[in-house]
A and B are shown apart, each in its own frame.
Chain A
Amino acid sequence: MKEELLKEKITTKTLCYHCSEECSDDSIRINDKIFCCNGCKTVYELLDQNNLCTYYSIEQSPGNTRKYYTKRNYDFLDDEDLKQKLIEFSDGKKTNVAFSIPQMHCSSCIWILENLYKLDNGIISSRVNFLQKKLFITFAEKITSLKKIVELLDSLGYEPLLNLDAKNETAVYNEYKNLYYKIGIAGFSFGNIMLLSFPEYLSINVVEHSELKQIFSYINILLSLPVFFYSSNDYFISAWKGLKKKIVNIDVPLALGIFVLFLRSIYDIIFLGGAGYLDSLTGLVFFLLIGKVFQNKTYDTLNFERNYKSYFPIAVTIKNGDNETTIPVEKLKVGQRIIVKNNEIIPADSILIKGFGNIDYSFVTGELFPVNVQNGETIFAGGKQIGSAIEVETIKNVSQSYLTQLWNRTAFNRNEESQITSFANIVSKYFTFGIISFAVLAALFALPNYKIAFDAFTAVLIVACPCALALSTPFTLGNTLRIFGKNKFYLKNTFIVEKLSSIDTIVFDKTGTITERNNSLVNFIGLDLSENEKDLIKSVVANSTHPLSRAIFNFLSPNRIYPVENYEENIGQGIIALVNKNKIKIGSEQFVTNKNQNELDSTKVFVAINEEIKGYFEIKNKYRAGLKEIVSQLLKKYQIFVLSGDNESEKNNLNEIFHGNAGLYFNYSPHDKLNFIEKLQNQNKKVLMFGDGLNDAGALKQSDVGISITDNTNNFTPASDAILDSQSFRLINVFINFSKTSKKIIIASFVLSIIYNIIGLTFAFEGKLTPLFAAILMPLSSISVVIFTTIATNLLANKKGLI
């Protein structure tokens, strides 16, 4: 017996053939292929039977681990209403559906997902968009069903993220396509008009062929029509919308410039036999549209708009007498009994009827450790049951629950379009009035002569057209967005950069934001543990999913894991098990020592081996690396607050980290957090909020800039302006500073473009604005501004260590 145990000692790490997880032993195997768990083995068998083992030859161990897999019930996908919400199109024969699959990570994934038709002959075709992590499936509804497909994907380890709100994405998608059309047409016209204007540029004397010049000009008009009426219509629409709201945005001077350029050119060509400025017009629109594409950088795989619906289950198991059925969560009514299994989320406020409630509220309230709930007590929606299945009865509707009520608040209905504060828009107001008065002045100056007055008036408007001005913002901010993205800080759009540069107050959430979510600081206090004893303890806690067990498991250095006998876990109390004939008892003070605890201190885990009390593990929040240094930098410039849903146990630690200079608030509910931000804003503070969970959703939305922090960008993050990968947490001060740098770069390029305008204006005033001069000055100023901003942002980012 002992020899056998010794053999199981892991000398070299064996990695799973399917998912490259570490295998505890080599007992799960097929021939020479070793698997970490039966789940991985099953997937391999399925692929092997269908000759799909190419999966393993494209990339090594490409699978998603099945170790912690629990089979889900997808019966709700037979519900007609729900099906209609997920299916994109169906003609009775062919049905199209799109799934979002966050687990997609390598080329093997693409291969297997595009070969699904070999596993289910009802699937006609499947297509992957890797960057968006999307899978598009066309299937025959007569042969297979939505439920079968989802079950197949789930069984392969690619569980689709089913979200009922995902359909409005097509509108955004069409907008992109339109932009590409517009650029194509503008580029086509620009190129051809330049070609036809060449004789003009070279001042080739075409007197003897003046009819040719005429014809060229008319062709130019034809070519510019689609640019004027189609490619540039966004600017007219936006300018008009702004003016209706009495806002002079940056599009107003642009639209004015485009309009005057077009009119003046037509007038020149038709009445004066001139060449017009159509090359400048089309070039301007072309550059502006390119700026727009550059600015519209988006992170397809990230979702900045998630609300509680994408965190909550979309279906629940309800109990009706002895029958268990699955229904969509929307149809859940008050007074229904639901069954909540291990790791499932409670969708509505309810009362515990049966079972041991051990609810993890960390995402909802910020409490670090699970809470024991007794029969008859209330469980709040959003809590996650850990342990055996429980039966609960709902007392509120999903949307009226304690947490979800937050989404009925006004902060969530605010109009997001109010971007009037953007710097370019503020400047453009003065700029527009400036050039209009300039133009009027120039016209008045030349007044007795109407022809010259008209010339001067239009020439000023043409030359002052703020193309360089309009390009500096998208290129600077677009580049900043990309630089941030490279450092795993993802912004929703470029406006956030500007907003970030003007904040003066920073609010942090505690749990999961400044502390690490899946990592705690563990300390053993008591008798010294021998290596063997550590192994015994580790072997026991390896079997438990409780967060405290996991923390202890990670704390003890890995050596060997023994098989465990007579394992018994008492929810909310502790574990008893037999390892190597040693009786191990791990759990709360009362459970292990039989002494009555005075207070419920869940952060101490006691250990007894063979009835001898060895001591206890003390488990604390682990603050993110470098927090103290970041905080001391931030404290110099900003007012800082920490809001926690947890109790005050960490107060002293926090005071030390924040040098006693931060406002610390404990036991804050999600609503309290939102109100707190609102209060700060009423004092005219610009608030930056860092949060991570659903409990911060309201505060993130209310704040001027809300950033959610996550360890894995595939995980759920509440709606926010930006998503920060926790690895880059130490850079937050650099990010804020760089957003200010970007603003300075914009100001500098504004100055540059104003210099160009002054040069142009002096020429216009003297009436020397030839088409050739305009055709050179406009692209030159635009391109030099673009080059300036790009080089400046890259250089300064390099200096700050961001590239």
Chain B
Amino acid sequence: MQIVLVLIAASLIVALIFLGAYLWAVKSGQYDDKFTPSIRILFDESKKEKND
């Protein structure tokens, strides 16, 4: 049954990684603006113009 402890430890570590990812996402401002990125993604990258 000791194997259960290993499994629990592993699951907690995985869960902690996800918690960390969430906290990082909040910190880096991904929840600040939930609308503009959905529009921004539709714009074509205009690389040609950049080179002008």
Residues of chain A at the chain B interface (Cβ within 8 Å): 51, 54, 58, 107, 110-111, 114-115, 118, 128-132, 173, 177, 180-181, 184-185, 188, 191-192, 195-196, 209, 212, 215-216, 219
Query: Taking the nearest CB of chain B, how far is it from the CB of A400, in angstroms?
Result: 40
Take A54-B46, A181-B26 as given contacts and tell me if A191 and B32 are in contact as well, using a CB distance cutoff of 8 Å.
no
10 shortest interchain CB distances as A-B pairs: A130-B36, A188-B19, A129-B33, A180-B26, A107-B39, A184-B22, A51-B49, A131-B35, A130-B35, A209-B1
Q: Are A212 and B22 in contact (CB under 8 A)?
A: no
Q: Are B52 and A191 in contact (CB under 8 A)?
A: no
Q: Are B15 and A188 in contact (CB under 8 A)?
A: yes
Q: Could you tell me which residues of chain B, from 1 to 52, have a CB within 8 Å of some CB in chain A?
A: 1, 4-5, 8, 11-12, 15-16, 18-19, 22-23, 26-27, 31-36, 39-40, 42-44, 46, 49, 52
Residue of B5, B27, B33 ringed by the most chain A CB atoms within 10 A: B33
Q: Are A110 and B39 in contact (CB under 8 A)?
A: yes
Q: Which residues of A contact B11 (CB under 8 A)?
A: 192, 195
The residue from B8, B26, B36 contacting A177, defined by CB atoms under 8 A apart: B26
Q: Which residues of B contact A118 (CB under 8 A)?
A: 49
Residues of chain B at the chain A interface (Cβ within 8 Å): 1, 4-5, 8, 11-12, 15-16, 18-19, 22-23, 26-27, 31-36, 39-40, 42-44, 46, 49, 52
Main secondary structure of the interface of B (DSSP, over half): helix
Can you report 7 residue pairs joining A to B where beta carbons are below 8 Å apart? A54-B43, A111-B43, A131-B35, A184-B19, A188-B15, A219-B8, A219-B12
Q: Are B52 and A184 in contact (CB under 8 A)?
A: no
Q: Which residues of B contact A184 (CB under 8 A)?
A: 19, 22-23, 26
CA distance A219 to B16 in the complex (A): 14
The residue from A129, A181, A195 contacting B32, defined by CB atoms under 8 A apart: A129
Name B18's closest neighbour in chain A (CB-CB).
A188
Q: Are B26 and A191 in contact (CB under 8 A)?
A: no
Q: Are A212 and B1 in contact (CB under 8 A)?
A: yes
Main secondary structure of the interface of A (DSSP, over half): helix
Take A54-B46, A130-B35, A180-B26 as given contacts and tell me if A215 and B5 are in contact as well, using a CB distance cutoff of 8 Å.
yes
CA distance A130 to B32 in the complex (A): 11
Name A208's closest neighbour in chain B (CB-CB).
B1
CA distance A128 to B33 in the complex (A): 9
Q: Which residues of A contact B40 (CB under 8 A)?
A: 110, 114
CA distance A181 to B15 in the complex (A): 15
The residue from A107, A180, A195, A209 contacting B31, defined by CB atoms under 8 A apart: A180
Q: Which residues of A contact B12 (CB under 8 A)?
A: 192, 219
CA distance A196 to B40 in the complex (A): 43
Take A111-B43, A130-B33, A130-B36 as given contacts and tell me if A196 and B8 are in contact as well, using a CB distance cutoff of 8 Å.
yes
Q: Which residues of A contact B43 (CB under 8 A)?
A: 54, 58, 111, 114
Name B27's closest neighbour in chain A (CB-CB).
A177
Q: Which residues of A contact B36 (CB under 8 A)?
A: 110, 128-131
CA distance A13 to B26 in the complex (A): 50
CA distance A118 to B49 in the complex (A): 9
CA distance A212 to B12 in the complex (A): 16
Query: Taking the nearest CB of chain A, how far is it from the CB of B41, in angstroms?
Result: 11
Query: Taking the nearest CB of chain B, how far is it from the CB of A186, in angstroms?
Result: 11
Known: A114-B43, A188-B15, A212-B4. 15 other contacts (CB 8 A): A54-B46, A58-B43, A129-B32, A130-B33, A130-B35, A130-B39, A131-B33, A177-B27, A180-B31, A185-B19, A188-B18, A215-B5, A216-B8, A219-B8, A219-B12
Name B1's closest neighbour in chain A (CB-CB).
A209
The residue from B4, B19, B27, B44 contacting A54, defined by CB atoms under 8 A apart: B44
Take A131-B33, A131-B36, A180-B31 as given contacts and tell me if A107 and B42 are in contact as well, using a CB distance cutoff of 8 Å.
yes
Query: Taking the nearest CB of chain B, how far is it from the CB of A253, in angstroms?
Result: 30
Q: Are A51 and B52 in contact (CB under 8 A)?
A: yes
CA distance A270 to B11 in the complex (A): 24
CA distance A55 to B33 in the complex (A): 22
Name A199's closest neighbour in chain B (CB-CB).
B4
CA distance A72 to B18 in the complex (A): 51
Query: Taking the nearest CB of chain B, how far is it from the CB of A208, in angstroms?
Result: 9
CA distance A185 to B19 in the complex (A): 7
Name B49's closest neighbour in chain A (CB-CB).
A51
CA distance A107 to B43 in the complex (A): 9
CA distance A215 to B4 in the complex (A): 11
Q: Which residues of A contact B4 (CB under 8 A)?
A: 212
Query: Taking the nearest CB of chain A, how far is it from the CB of B9, in angstroms?
Result: 9
Query: Taking the nearest CB of chain A, how far is it from the CB of B38, in angstroms?
Result: 9
Q: Which residues of B contact A54 (CB under 8 A)?
A: 43-44, 46
Query: Taking the nearest CB of chain B, how far is it from the CB of A395, in angstroms?
Result: 46
CA distance A216 to B1 in the complex (A): 13
Q: Which residues of B contact A114 (CB under 8 A)?
A: 40, 43
